[in-house]
Structure 1
Amino acid sequence: MNKPDPALRASRLKLLLIMLVFAAPMVAAGVLTVIGWQPNGKANGLPIEPQRNFASEQLQVTMANGQPWAWRADEPQLTLVALAGPDCAAQCLDVLTKMAAARITLNQNAPRLRLLYVGKPPADAASNGMSSYWQLGQDSKDQLAPFRPSTPDSVAALLVESDGTALSLYPAGFDPTGLRKDLQKVIR
């Protein structure tokens, strides 16, 4: 009876250990999935549940030039929709400015985010350059009413995927810094 060569046994053991190193994460992921554990993302926005697709719902926002807003973007672009509460004034305008600044912080990825303001613009919107950053539209059928804040001088925001699917809601009083962080995670 021949004894296996010790070098051959060592190389087989090394091969088995290498296979184990690569298989262990897959086995661990399978076990975690079976027991129902899911990682928690630390997004600042609230998920839209049930999920809605504004394009398939034919939710119509009419732009200042009379054209309808295209929820399905020609290229991969998300849309950040700002919905102001009644009497949008100084605080509302401050949040809108911070939202526009969040787009600027995306640097070369900034064109991948469209800014859409839906509703009556603030009184001094023309003088403060709001139209330089935001595309202004109206929701004549008030289909976005469930997302619009009722608090005066406040803003809520919706993040919408390029196919028209609403991803996240940022209710009135949200932290614009948290929104910026979410945008930097999503838009790369």
Structure 2
Amino acid sequence: MNATSPARLPSRSRGRWTLIALFGVFFGAMALAGVLRFSGWQPTSHRNTGQLLQPPADLRALPPTLADGQPYPWNPNDRTWRILVAPSASCTSECVTLSQGLGKVWQLFGHNADNVEILWLGTPPAEVQGMPALRALRAQPDLRAALPAVDDAAGTPVYVIDPNGFVIMRYAPGFDMAGLRKDLATLLKLK
């Protein structure tokens, strides 16, 4: 004879179904997270505006030279991030607008502005030559050739270079300056 009373059977069955439901919720959430992770989905707040370069272009072997002839060291210990512009020789009014926008982005970094420099490959427009963060570099064909998709028919792309000398991001011509600021602000938080 079974010692379990008939009144306890529905209670035991309910407890089992509760346990199965808890396992289903837990493992279902994990399965959903795995599917989202491996499908490449990311929340919009975590997406880059610029194109993340895979693999990044390595400029460490191509040290730039400042316009005055002095070498420009990458110096990773300073933790300085760089925005690089490599315009074509025919860039005129577009470059003035671009340089003024980059100057505003640099100013918006506030106390972190000391950790960002703007490198201009060639002669920058006269309108922005006094900007504190602007470093004019000599036109170096080998350095320009190392930049991914530098000769874009749509205009002048902009690049983000990490403190070690790797080009990690590319911004297509006509990009949104707010996106560059957001991406670089995220990178500046990395110490």
What is the TM-score when the length of structure 2 is the normalising length?
0.69
Question: If you compute each CA radius of gyration, which structure gives the higher value, 1 or 2?
Answer: 2
Q: Within 2, Cα distance between the matches of 1:75 and 1:24? A: 46
Output one character per residue of 1:83-131: Cα deviation in whole Å (capped at 9) or x when no partner. 21223322211111111211211111111212111123235554xx34x
Structure 2 spans left out of the alignment, 5+ residues = 1-21
> Judging changes above 3 Å, is the alpha-carbon distance between structure 1 residues 46 and 69 closer, same or farther for their aligned structure 2 residues?
same
Q: Is the 8 A contact 2:99 2:128 kept in 1?
A: no
Output one character per residue of 1:6-64: Cα deviation in whole Å (capped at 9) or x when no partner. xxxxxxxxxxx9xxxx999878756765xx23343621111223322211xx1131102
> Judging changes above 3 Å, is the alpha-carbon distance between structure 1 residues 108 and 50 closer, same or farther for their aligned structure 2 residues?
same
Output one character per residue of 1:138-165: Cα deviation in whole Å (capped at 9) or x when no partner. 242433234434559x432110111122
TM-fit CA distance, 1:173: 1.8
Aligned positions of 1:39-188 closer than 5 A: 39-40=41-42, 42-55=47-60, 58-122=61-125, 125-126=128-129, 129-130=130-131, 132-145=132-145, 146=147, 147-149=149-151, 151=153, 154-188=155-189
Q: CA RMSD in A?
A: 3.7
Bigger shift: residues 91-100 or 38-47: 38-47
AA paired with 1:48?
L
Structure 1 spans left out of the alignment, 5+ residues = 1-16
Relative to its length, the structure with more helix (as a share) is 2
Percent of aligned pairs with the same amino acid = 25
Output one character per residue of 1:57-78: Cα deviation in whole Å (capped at 9) or x when no partner. x113110231222223332221
AA paired with 2:39?
W
Q: Within 2, Cα distance between the matches of 1:81 and 1:109? A: 18
Q: Is the 8 A contact 1:83 1:149 kept in 2?
A: no
Q: Within 2, Cα distance between the matches of 1:45 and 1:31? A: 25
